[in-house]
Amino acid sequence: MRIVLADDHPVFTAGVRNYLNHVPDCRVVACVTSSDALVRCLESTPCDLVITEFSMPMVRISDGLHLLSYIRRHHPQTWLVVLTMNALPVVLYQIVNSGVNGLLHKSDAIPELGKTIRHLGNDSPYMGPSFQALLQNGINGQAKSRIPSPRETEVLRLYAAGNSLRDIAQRLSKSVKTVSLQKASAMKKLGLGNDIELGRYCAAVSGDIVQPPGCGDWFLSNNESDDDSEET
């Protein structure tokens, strides 16, 4: 099994790589330190499994959720395992709902990676022990209904980065009313009562790294990123 590792902490990556190279039939073929480097790597390096940190330095990709969505769409045959320090339930639900094959906390024992690899191919994703209790009820209908759409997530991220609703509307080529409704809808789904809570959520999703102005979401098509019922 050919594996690509993505993490911006070299010492952590070295430990994971050393472990995986001793797992039968596993071989690490590349290591990268940012989301953009991971996208470029996958375009040129055939692999069977990607093991990636959720929050890494990003330029063209706005946050971890968009990265997972991109990998799932462009490399659907590649298994995807996420490592994270995040423990915010709604973010974890979004990660699982993105179609990952495994979710581990970085505090989990390293043999959990071996268990995750052996679990690949099952219908349900493998959950590390740190998340099993937290997500023991699975992704039920109620949880799914509380997951914002990609465009709603984008609106929240841009707003938390200091953009006004009018600025966001101009950037996304939408009306101010539409953007305002998307922001309100997303905050309601996430149970966020004010802008302070919104800032904490966005920091958990993006790792406090936001996309520079002028960099469009090149990997999201209009059909994939907008709600079907969105007002234009």
Note the pLDDT tens digit of each residue in 68-122. 988 999 999 999 999 988 777 777 887 888 889 999 999 899 999 999 999 998 9
pTM listed for this prediction: 0.69
Give me the pLDDT at residue 212, please: 34
Residue 59 binned pLDDT confidence (cut-offs 50, 70, 90): low
175-184: average pLDDT:
93
205-217: average pLDDT:
42
Strand order across the beta sheet in which 102-105 lies: 27-32, 2-6, 49-53, 79-84, 102-105, 126-127
Q: Is the model's pLDDT at 221 over the cut of 70?
A: no
2-132: CATH topology is Rossmann fold (3.40.50)
Where is average pLDDT lowest: 13-17, 140-144, 156-160, 200-204?
A: 140-144
Give me the pLDDT at residue 1, please: 94
SS3 content of the chain, % helix, strand, coil (to 5): 45, 10, 40
CB 53 within 8 A of CB 6: yes
Give me the pLDDT at residue 112, please: 95
123: Cβ–Cβ under 8 A, 6 or more apart, which residues? none
20-30: average pLDDT:
93
59 versus 38: the higher-pLDDT residue is 38
| 4 burial via Cβ count (<10 Å: 0-12, 13-18, 19+) | buried
Domain positions in the chain: 2-132, 150-206
The backbone torsions φ and ψ at residue 227, rounded to the nearest 5 degrees and listed phi first, read -70, 145
Q: Is the model's pLDDT at 229 over the cut of 70?
A: no
Domain 150-206 sits in CATH at: 1.10.10.10
Kind plus residue range of the DSSP H or E element containing 43: helix 35-44
CB 103 within 8 A of CB 81: yes
